[in-house]
Amino acid sequence: MNVTIIVPSLDPDEKLCKVVDGLLSEGFTDILLVNDGSHADHLQPFLDAARHPEVTVLTHEVNRGKGRALKTAFAWCMENRPDIDGVVTVDGDNQHLPRDVRACAEAMIADPGRVWLGVRDFSLEHVPFRSRFGNTLTRGILRMAGGVSVTDTQTGLRAIAAKYLPLMTRIEGERYEYETEMLLSLRSAGIGLGEIVIETVYINENETSHFNVLKDSWKIYKIIFRHMLRRRR
């Protein structure tokens, strides 16, 4: 597969190296890490990963948010990987299994007309309550107000064909709200979504997540309702 794997990361620990090792073992040969302004105490995982010839590291000098990190990577791929089939975005906390990354990449190659999401099963007992509640609420609001129906609204595992990367760089949003803005913008552009059910992994109840429940949730809901108002005009 001629695919670039994109991994945005802020203040990673040893799990980032496990992500890279897993991707390499799955046969991926082009991995792009984005250091989104990590503290000096958290730079070693990037240095360790960069020892692999298959890994490229881009760096934001200050934290700019997950959305901006993804757009930085998309723009870099457009300039430096013009012949790829597409990209797969992967979280750096080792909660996306390499085989699921491959499944999403294969789906994208087979059907590049859609953006493919790796979706979790939030009904499982080990899913933290805040994750289950947050996804259920956001999924309902997104469907009613934005006209988008997806199983997992905040999945970071997304396979995107190369032809859609210019659109990805133009979508608004700098932080976690970018991922919701992406779903709404794809709908507006008439681009379909596909879903691949993946393993639902939570390590220590996702305690290393940088998602701010109040602040980031508010940004997400504000975007959804803004799209709702546009649809009614």
Residue of 101 and 136 predicted with greater confidence:
101
> How far is 176 from 164, CA to CA, in rounded Å?
20
Looking at residue 77, its pLDDT comes to 98
What is the rounded end-to-end Cα distance, in angstroms, of the chain?
43
- pLDDT tens digits for range 159-200: 999 999 999 999 999 988 899 999 999 998 999 999 999 998
Burial tier of 191 (Cβ tally within 10 Å: 0-12, 13-18, 19+): middle
**pLDDT-derived band at 210, boundaries 50, 70, 90:** low
- Tokens 């995107």: give the residue: 160
Question: Is the confidence at residue 2, as pLDDT, over 60?
Answer: yes
**Average pLDDT along the chain:** 88
**pTM score, whole prediction:** 0.86
CATH number of 3-232: 3.90.550.10
Q: What tokens does 43 get?
A: 């730079």
Looking at residue 1, its pLDDT comes to 84
> Distances from the Cα of 197 to the Cαs of 139, 145, 152, in angstroms?
16, 25, 10
Looking at residue 144, its pLDDT comes to 73
Question: Is the confidence at residue 103, as pLDDT, over 60?
Answer: yes
Strands 114-119 and 86-89: unpaired
Give the single-character DSSP code of 135.
Answer: H
Burial tier of 57 (Cβ tally within 10 Å: 0-12, 13-18, 19+): middle
**pLDDT-derived band at 212, boundaries 50, 70, 90:** low
Please give the average per-residue pLDDT across 118-141, as a whole number: 73
Question: What percent of the chain has a predicted confidence (pLDDT) above 90?
Answer: 67
Q: How many CB atoms lie within 10 A of CB 135?
A: 20
Question: Is the confidence at residue 225, as pLDDT, over 70?
Answer: no
- pLDDT tens digits for range 60-88: 999 999 999 999 999 999 999 999 999 99
Question: Is the confidence at residue 217, as pLDDT, over 90?
Answer: no
Please give the average per-residue pLDDT across 100-129, as a whole number: 88
Q: What tokens does 74 get?
A: 């998309």
The DSSP-derived string for 81-129 is -TT-SEEEE--TTS-S-HHHHHHHHHHHHH-TTEEEEEE--TTSTTS-H
